[in-house]
Amino acid sequence: MLAVVREKVMPRIDGARLIADLRRIAEFGRYQTGVHRPCLSEVDVASRRWLAERFAEAGLEASIDGIGNVFGRSRAPGPKLLMGSHTDTQPRGGWLDGVMGVIYGLEVARAFRDDPACRDIGVDVASWADEEGNFGSFVGSRSFIGALDEAEIDQMVSREDGTPLRQAIAQAGLAGEPRAQLDPARYRGYLEAHIEQGGVLEHERKRIGVVTGIVGIVLLHLRFTGKQNHAGTTPMPIRKDAGVALTTYCSAVHERFRKLTGPATVWTVGQIRLDPNMPSIIPGAAEMLLQIRDPELDKVDELAAEAKKLAAEANAAGPCGVAIEQMSRTLPTRSEPKFMDALQAAAETHAPGGWMRMPSGAGHDAQILAKKLPSAMLFVPSIGGVSHHFSEDTGEADIALGCQVFADAAAAILRG
């Protein structure tokens, strides 16, 4: 009787097969211990065709649509979940970021196929094109939910080499393909697995993160305008140094924000540009990007308002002008409570006490799918918290455990 119970609640994933597929796809665009695979580059297209073959081998109906999304559709007659993530990578990024969630979907489909108790339920698996922003923001998943129009596609070019997206699609042999559109009635919801990309799980000695939601993000652009001049001949009192204005503003932001921060607030000045950025020239202009993230929209908005207030103060004080513009504002996403419960129960089965609930500080395709479907995410630990670097890694035992938890949770949701 025990065996029967196990079969009902536990489709068994094959950890060795899972790892082997992850190692194989990492060969497409290998860079040191990581991968350089920008969306619709030659190696990326090759990896998509390889993935479609794996989907077909697993008994799924494989296709690549007109934006580069790769699908493996279940032929099961019963209820279905959509699973996915992305197989494109950051420039010189890690071997698991994105692709792990796609291969989890493939492995869950194989586990369902191989388990007589799971043959009535199914998963569709997707690799969403360009999650990492080679051409734009969440290009593939937005296309799938109907939030990407043709005019926007016309405008997109690769940040790697300037290739227009239209040309990249044509070179991939996809110019004639339609863009697949979501039929929400087909699915119970959407699940995505991903590496954590941070150090919280490792620090808390947990192996599974049950994601409560994805943070809201405000991105602010600041431009400081001074007066370009010779760095040897312009006395300090009459200078209008845009670089000084920028670094002074940064110090003010860091000091003020530290007093306002919530438990999960983060902010980053990731990009600074001085103009002309020459050692003997007083910068005439300087630009920076300030990004603020928090699971609570109110906190994101409060800090953004504070950044704008500091900019207005700097502008009034002079001698440089300051213009601040809100480039984007992404609303926080909340996970489906029933899906979180299913992930938590499966995690407790396989790693008792080894899981925790946590927000996602990073953006994921799940936040796009969540606009149309109940959604949730699972995290596995990142060694040393490293992400967006070729040295990113996760222990093989954690990779296999995460996939088993993911499979169990999916089966439980579909049977629920």
Does residue 229 touch its own copies according to CB under 8 A? yes
Binds its own copies (CB under 8 A): choice among 9, 19, 266, 351: 266
281: left (phi over 0), alpha (psi -120 to 50) or beta: beta
Which pair of structure tokens corresponds to residue 68?
């580069």
Cβ 157 to its own copies, closest distance in Å? 17
- Helix, strand, or coil (residue 59): coil
Binds its own copies (CB under 8 A): choice among 277, 305, 318, 337: 277
Does residue 291 touch its own copies according to CB under 8 A? yes
- Helix, strand, or coil (residue 144): helix
What does the DSSP 8-state code read for residue 284? S
Which pair of structure tokens corresponds to residue 39?
């969306």
Chain-centre distance for alpha carbon 343: 20
Interatomic CA distance for residues 29 and 97, integer angstroms: 14
Cβ 103 to its own copies, closest distance in Å? 21
Cβ 20 to its own copies, closest distance in Å? 27
Nearest one of 415, 308, 303 to 78, comparing CA atoms: 415
Residue closer to its own copies by CB (options 118, 245) is 245
**Which residues, 6+ apart, have CB-to-CB distance to 3 below 8 Å?**
none
Cβ 416 to its own copies, closest distance in Å? 30
Does residue 241 touch its own copies according to CB under 8 A? yes
Interatomic CA distance for residues 89 and 214, integer angstroms: 20
Binds its own copies (CB under 8 A): choice among 219, 340, 370, 414: 219
Does residue 183 touch its own copies according to CB under 8 A? no
* Other beta carbons within 10 Å of 282: 22
Residue closer to its own copies by CB (options 146, 318) is 318
Maximum Cα–Cα distance for the chain, whole Å? 89
The H or E element containing residue 410 is: helix 396-415
Q: Select the span of 21-29, 177-185, 224-232, 408-416 touching its own copies (CB under 8 A).
A: 224-232
Does residue 215 touch its own copies according to CB under 8 A? yes
Interatomic CA distance for residues 81 and 128, integer angstroms: 16
Instruction: Answer whether 299's CB lies under 8 Å from 262's CB.
Output: yes
Binds its own copies (CB under 8 A): choice among 167, 247, 315, 349: 247
Cβ 321 to its own copies, closest distance in Å? 17
Instruction: Answer whether 308's CB lies under 8 Å from 210's CB.
Output: no
Burial class (CB in 10 A: 0-12, 13-18, 19+), 327: exposed
Does residue 244 touch its own copies according to CB under 8 A? yes
Does residue 16 touch its own copies according to CB under 8 A? no
Does residue 33 touch its own copies according to CB under 8 A? no
Does residue 383 touch its own copies according to CB under 8 A? no
Does residue 282 touch its own copies according to CB under 8 A? yes
Does residue 233 touch its own copies according to CB under 8 A? yes
Q: Select the span of 12-20, 222-230, 303-311, 399-407 touching its own copies (CB under 8 A).
A: 222-230
Does residue 356 touch its own copies according to CB under 8 A? no
Cβ 399 to its own copies, closest distance in Å? 18
Does residue 162 touch its own copies according to CB under 8 A? no
- Helix, strand, or coil (residue 250): helix
Instruction: Answer whether 311's CB lies under 8 Å from 270's CB.
Output: no
Binds its own copies (CB under 8 A): choice among 238, 259, 316, 352: 238
Interatomic CA distance for residues 166 and 157, integer angstroms: 8
Q: Select the span of 101-109, 110-118, 260-268, 407-415 touching its own copies (CB under 8 A).
A: 260-268
Residue closer to its own copies by CB (options 115, 398) is 398
Which pair of structure tokens corresponds to residue 339?
């899906």
Binding site for its own copies (CB under 8 A): 196-200, 203, 215, 217, 219, 228-236, 238, 241, 243-244, 246-248, 250-251, 254, 261, 264-274, 277-284, 289, 291, 293, 360-363, 385-389
